[in-house]
Amino acid sequence: MKKLLLIILFVANNTALFAQNFSDVKIKSGRDYVVIETSGTQITGTVLNQDENDIMINSKQAGIVVIHKIEIKEVRKVSKEELSQAKSVSGTFFYGEIGGGYGTHGSLKIAFDIINHTSNTISICFFFSSHRDPDRPPDFAPGLFEPYPQQQLYMFGIMYGKVFYSKQTTTRFVLKGGLSGGVVYTPQNYISAGSWFEANYTYSLKHEFTPGILLNPTMELPVRRYFGLSFGLYTNVNFISPVFGVEGSMIFGKLRNKTLQEMNRKARRHRPFREDQVL
C-alpha cells in the first residue's frame, strides 16, 4: 500500500509553547512511538526522522507525516507496555464461554460474547441451574437408578456491559448485566408409593415461564490469543427460583491481538519487529 506524504503547514504563532513542551521529551528517531497533538489533530506513530524544524512520523492512519515542530502543542512518548496494551485490545473480538458454577444452585453456562470498540461487550447466553426441590418430603428415598427430584431452570439471556483493562494485557474485568427468560421445572404432587426398586414417592413436574434480571461480573484471563479462563459471580433474579453463585469458565475464540512480547519472540526467528507494524 502506498504511503501518503502529508505535509502540515501552519503559521508559527506558538514557538515558545512548543519549545517548552518538546524540549522536555527526548525522542530517538527510529525507535520511539509518540502521540503528537497539533491544532485540532492527533497523530500517533513511530518517529522516523527529525531536524530543527520538522519531525517525520510513520503513522498507521496517514502513512508518512511531516509536521512543523512550531505547531506541536503536546508530544508524549508511549512506552512499550502502553503500546502493547493498546494494540492487544484494539479491534473486535468474538469468543465463546463454557463453564459452571455453584451457589444456591449448581449451574452450567454456555455463552457467545462480542467485545467491540475496545470496551463495549454483548453476551448471548444459556444457563442451566438445578438444586434440591424445596418441597421434597424429608423421607424421600430414590429408586435404584433414579436421582433425587430437583428444581431445574433453563434460562436464555442477553447482557450488555463494559470492559476494564488492567496494566497486564492478559487480565481484564467485565461488568455486564441484562435480561433473561426461561422455564422452571418444579416437582409437585408427591404421592407415597411402595416398591423395592423405585422411589418411595411418585410426583409430577410443573413447568412455568419466568423472566429474570442477570448480573454477571467476571475477571477474564486471555492467557493466549485464542484461549483463556474466566472467573466471576452469577446472579439471576426471577420470580420463582433466584440463583446466586460463583462461576468459572473456559473462554475460546479471538480473545485479543498479539502483544509486543509475542511479536518479538516470533520476530527473532525472522526479522526485527517494527512498533508501527499494523496488526
Distance CA 204, CA 192 (A): 13
Are 113 and 246 in the same domain? yes
pTM higher than 0.75: no
Q: Are 183 and 127 in the same domain?
A: yes
Domain count within the chain:
2
Q: Is residue 275 part of a domain?
A: no
Instruction: Answer yes or no: do 71 and 119 share one domain.
Output: no
pLDDT at 217: 97
Low-confidence ranges of the chain (pLDDT < 70): 1-33, 39-40, 43, 60-62, 68, 70-71, 73-74, 76-90, 117-118, 194-195, 259-279
Strands (E), the chain: 5-8, 33-37, 42-50, 54-59, 63-68, 74-78, 93-103, 106-116, 120-132, 150-165, 172-192, 201-215, 218-221, 227-238, 243-253
Question: In this structure, are 34 and 127 located in the same domain?
Answer: no
Residue at which a domain ends, from 53, 78, 103: 78
209: burial class by Cβ within 10 Å (0-12, 13-18, 19+)? exposed
Our CA dihedral for 194, 195, 199, 201, rounded to 10 degrees, sits at -20
Residue 70 domain boundaries: 5-78
In a domain, 212, yes or no: yes
* Domain-embedded: residue 278: no
Instruction: Evaluate whether residue 273 is within a structural domain.
Output: no
Q: Are 115 and 278 in contact (CB under 8 A)?
A: no
- The answer to whether position 277 is within a domain reads no
The answer on 114 and 58 residing in a single domain is no
> 3-state DSSP call for residue 16?
helix
Measured CA to CA, the distance from residue 201 to residue 137 in angstroms comes to 9
177 domain residue, yes or no? yes
CATH number for the domain spanning 55: value is 2.30.30.520
Both 162 and 241 in one domain: the answer is yes
CATH of the domain at 240: 2.40.160.20
Position 275, amino acid: E
Residue 42 lies in a domain: yes
pLDDT of residue 201: 87
d(Cα 259, Cα 88) in Å, to the nearest integer?
5
Residues 6+ apart with CB under 8 A from 274: 46
pLDDT for the residue numbered 262: 64
Mark whether 28 and 60 lie in a shared domain: yes
pLDDT at 199: 84
Grid cell for residue 224: 493466549
Same domain, 98 and 39: no
> What integer pLDDT is reported at residue 227 of this predicted model?
95
74 and 197 fall within a common domain: no
